[in-house]
Structure 1
Amino acid sequence: MQNEVLSKAQKAKSISSTLAGFTQEDRSALLLTIADKLNENAAYILQENSRDVEQAKKNKVSDALIDRLRLNEERLKAITEAVRDIASLPDPTGEILWEEDRPNGLHIKQVRVPIGVIGVIYEARPNVTVDISSLALKTGNTVLLRGSSSTIHSNKAITSVIQKALETSGFPPESVQLIENTDRTLTKSLFTAREYIDVIIPRGGKALIDTVVRESEVPVIETGAGNCHIYIDESAEEKLARTIAVDAKVQRPSVCNACETFLIHESWAESHLTALTGDLLSHGVTLKGDATSRALDSRIEAAEDADWDTEFLALTAAVKIVSGVQEAVSHIQKHGTKHSEAVLTETPEVVEAFFNQVDASTLYHNASTRFTDGFEFGFGAEVGISTQKLHARGAMGLPALTTTKYLVQGSGQTKGNLPLHEKH
């Protein structure tokens, strides 16, 4: 008997060409209907989400994970508004990227088209169910969702609302499907469904992403973990640096673009580390530092080697004192995850060195790493933050869910002048 993954993947593939046939106006109108339905069913969605939260508490899940899976009226409203934002964005499908008339008379153009069937494996983030579905539908893709068992009630509720909106709008309701069976072994069926699924996008922690990249036979867009750094240079303005550091660590510590390690120039540290430590401690942050930082401030705990590679996702941060931008860059290249890195400085040469030498999807000068986000970049929402270099990199919006095809218009051109058979 065929399992749920394969049967739903087959269905997604069978209707993918149908979905791509709807007009851009149809798809934008669909998203507005989805937003309306989410608003109308907010009480139901929040009720189902509360079941997930209560179960997580019973299972003694970390506060960071509970924060990720929890919805409230404010968060649900923001999610709904993101759907409306996506509806209003230009649809990249059909965009002509290149065209040329060839000497032989052929007219060739390269256009954006939907990828087809997108499989998404993600952890305890019910907002991803809405974000991914909206981005996929806007670009004419079908989507197969494999969420976390810890958010199964939330995801089922949201998916059912989206499917009602699809049906109301005349779209196949199976354009968005959720794998409801929480058996983890079923996930392997996604990895081998090359016949039906065009790409898999994992969103979650390092262990999940590494598993998908290692085991999937289907092409993967890797959305990496965020071991993000801020380098505070000797010329960094004190208040600016302290304000940005607090924001990057404290504003929402459980997300992938929060800062995990502060690399601080020795001169700046001698003058200002005590103040920065006080700022962070006042917000409940535990600091783990090297010997030099602890010599400057005894409130900093001793760091272990593993801390430099840890995505804490909590009110914990590592601190290392460095001699300059080159040592900071070397540390980031060794321990970073190619996600988001920031330099705080008033020296243009330091910015240039940092931007040229650090290999990451998103680099910041004098700004918090917390802005690596599709909404903040004007994408309405995001598929994820890609830390690879192909097929997409950084915050992934609508264009990341498209590929291209060449359309060639001719008038009888042939490559050779082969004779036809004269006698019949």
Structure 2
Amino acid sequence: MEDVEVIAASAICLFSIYNYACVLNKYKVQQRHRRRKRRMWMNKIHRNRTLNSMEQSFQDMIREDSGEFNNFCRMSPSDFEFLLSKIEPMIKRQSRLRIPITPKIRLALTLRYLATGDSYRNLHYLFKVSPSAISLIIPAVCKAINIVLKDQIKLPQSPEHWLSIEEGFRRQFPRCIGALDGKHIVIKCPTQSGSGAYTIVLMALVDMDYNFIFANIESKEHTNDCLLWQKIDSNNINLPPDTPLPGREQNVPYVFLGDGALASHKHLIIPYPGNHNIGTKEHTFNYILSSTRVVVENVFGLLTNVFRVFRKPIEIDIEKAPIITMTCILLHNFLRRSQSSQNIYTPPGTFDAIIDGELVEGSWRQHNIAPSVSAIRPIPLVATDTRSEVSQIRSEYTDYFYNLNL
């Protein structure tokens, strides 16, 4: 009898343990499959963003009489709407999970970034858009702008077009067809480089109306390897035939004006190296060349002052820096040629001017910063060996200018 009781008690104990194990296992399975409460994937500041709130803030800015919108986007409302209409199909996004960031806000955010150089964190508070989204929006919008404005810069394809550019320079420097300059664009702390900064090279050609004729951005350090130099060196740009300077007999080529950072060439005139006494032929030539070529200095100075993303090394991925740089260059030409934005972008007195024989500095110089802290920095001068043919061409220009001043 006792054995039966022991067996029964053991069976009950084992059943209890088994039942407990089953219940515990069922509980664990339920816990594992229980749907966790979803965390909000948008900050409260972003959840408060609505289409109406974003549109209302824009309309309030446009209605301001103080020019707030012009300062905010560096252009007129009509030009903003024009750009928006062109790029909207390329930057519009659809989302069923949240209110999408409208193309209008995407464009305004990008223009504000170019105009101020603000960090993504600061723009995040202004536009209620996360920094991670901003990092994707800005390059995408810049690419779209570059596509729709690509025709703002065209290298002349015919002698007649080059001659129309020469007309602007003719009074100061006959046979000149553009001022050429190269700059380093500094990018801060790229992931691909072990150093603290990386640079890309911008080569630009400017006309007398302060517009870019050509711009090329490359990672090559040597200016002689750039696309424009290759075109010049191969005589593949369809320049007008050589012709004498006014009142002279010797034929000279049409030329670009450069500085000591560029190698001399038949079609590229650079100053005489070193210092020269006032009144000498070399000093006279260098003065006239520099005073004519100052147009390209004005353009780069303006670019740094209006698009303040260049006022310090650009904090962006290396592959995106050329896109942003080209966007600013294309916007420069677009705004310079716009009837509604030209005086916003370059009001009277912006550029240097000669008045009664005296140089009056442009207003852009009042806010100029040292090149050592800017993202746009000059290319160091290099020693060049002027070939005999090039030296004879420069001598002909030198004699011409010297005789004008006698």
Q: TM-score, normalised by structure 2?
A: 0.28
Which has the larger helix fraction?
2
